[in-house]
Amino acid sequence: MSLKIGDKLPKFTAINSNGNAFDSQSFIGKSLVIYFYPKDETRVCTEQACSFRDNYEEFKELGAEVIGISSDSNKSHQKFASKHQLPFILLSDNDKKLRKLFGVPNDLFGLIPGRVTYVVNKNGIIEMVFNSMSGKIHIEKALEILRNQSHTAK
C-alpha cells in the first residue's frame, strides 16, 4: 500500500552516507522533502539531485530538510554527494525496506525503481506525493507546497 496525502510519516531508521544513524522521528517539528530515486550517477537522477542542490538554500529557508533515498550503497552515495557537492542527506535502501514502507512503485514496465517525492509537514503529515520519472519537476512541486505552507503559517 502506498502512502498518500494525509498519512503520517512512518517511523524508520537508516544509515546515511556519512555512516551516521538517521531516525525519521528526530525530524518531527521540521518539514521534510523525501525523494526516492532509481540510481546514483544516472543522467536524470544526477540532474534531479543537482536541482535539489541548486535550490537547497530555499528549502532550508522554508524550514525543510531534503533527504534522497535509493538502493545504492553508502559508499556510492558518498562518491555521488562529493562529486556533485550535494549538501543534503542521502540514505541507502539496499534492502528496499524503505521503498516498501512508503509503497514506492517501480516504473511502468516494472524494471526501474520509481521516482517519488513526499513533502511532510512539521507535524509529520504527508502533504504531497508526486510520482514522475521526470526528475526536475519534483523540485518545483515540492517548493510550491512548502511556499504554500509558509504563506498559510503567516
Residues with catalytic function: 45
Contact residues for 30 (Cβ-Cβ < 8 A; gap 6+)? 63, 64, 65, 122
Neighbours of 1 (CB within 10 A): 7
Using CA atoms, how far apart are residues 119 and 7, in angstroms rounded to an integer?
A: 11
Scanning the chain, the segments in alpha helix (DSSP H) are 43-54, 56-61, 74-84, 97-102, 137-153
Residue 102 in grid coordinates: 512508503
Q: Where are the beta strands (DSSP E) in 95-149?
A: 116-120, 126-131
Residue 131 in grid coordinates: 510520482
